[in-house]
Amino acid sequence: MICGCFILILSRFRQAVTIPVMVQPDTPRNSSLVPRPSVFEEAEACLRAPDPDTKLQLTREVSAAWRAGALSCEFGSEAVGLSEPGRPARPELVAPRDLPARSTASEVGRAALIHSICHIEFNAINLAWDAVYRFRDLPEAYYTDWIKVAREEAYHFSLLRAHLRHLGYDYGDFPAHNGLWEMCLQTAHDPLVRMALVPRVLEARGLDVTPGIMYKLEQSEDANAVDLLRIIQRDEVGHVAIGTRWFRYLCEQRSLAPEATFRELFNQYMPGGGRGPLDRASRLQAGFTEAELDYIEGAG
């Protein structure tokens, strides 16, 4: 491909008159000819960043670049499996059963609760970027959706961390568990399995429990935290809906029945079934069918 000036050389006429060589002035370089960075390389940079502030900044920058059309979906190689994402040395990661139970009646108990949700949102940033980085050759709309999720999860983390600091603590001050990322690794082999289980099981569970958490915080007169969770609940309905949309798209591509496929994967990966009551209204808004909700409640 040739960019820059073009040289026009005119041959001699029959009369043997020599025409001087005419050199056209430089023309502007066509920006469409300049290779765009790969969205997969940028997603990997976000995923690997260990410092929360750096991860947030990169997330904002890559999201803006994608929306501006400055990134491409071209890739020269498959994703390299990441066993661990970038994250800070703290919080200490422990088994869920080893997390101490605290009452929200105390300030430290409320701070620990906010910290646990803050940790979920930090992991959710990594999960969203992993969904972009790991799964190639999907429609551009898929990457648009999951970059939006990454941006909104980063916003949620920022809100919660600011409130945690207002309470006199910071992200990393309490232990946490690694359940979300462990499910990320279990579903790394197939985007259909990922869409079925991370947004539609783990994140959807957040839709069920958040109203109860909001009630506890209202009783503790933490109105600011309640307002933050109201924002998060609204956005998370959209995130689960994105998972539903791409789960059904992938089922259609493979000529699979979505409801039967979801039940099969739910049984395989979630042997304990559903836990606790469902927020059916939020789940229906996020794309679940009544039959799916009946099945989940029956499996629990």
Q: Which amino acid is residue 150, in one-letter code?
A: A
User: Per residue in 13-24, pLDDT tens?
Assistant: 233 333 333 333
Exposed (0-12), middle (13-18) or buried (19+): which is 255, by Cβ within 10 Å? exposed
User: Per residue in 29-59, pLDDT tens?
Assistant: 334 556 789 999 999 999 999 999 999 999 9
The 8-class DSSP code of residue 168 comes to: T
User: If you compute the radius of gyration of the chain from its CA atoms, what whole number of angstroms results?
Assistant: 25
Please name each of the domains of the chain with its CATH number. 39-70+84-299 (1.20.1260)
* DSSP helix/strand/coil, 68: coil
Q: Are 179 and 169 in contact (CB under 8 A)?
A: no
B/e letters for 201-225, b = 16+ CB within 10 Å, e = fewer, are: bbbbbbbbebeebbebbeebebeeb
pLDDT band at 272 (very low <50, low <70, confident <90, very high): confident
User: Per residue in 117-144, pLDDT tens?
Assistant: 999 999 999 999 999 999 999 999 999 9
Beta strands in the chain (DSSP E): 7-8, 22-23
Backbone angles phi, psi at 128, to 5 degrees: -65, -45
Dist CA 96 CA 78 (whole Å): 33
Residue position matching structure tokens 């790969």 = 38
pTM of this prediction?
0.86
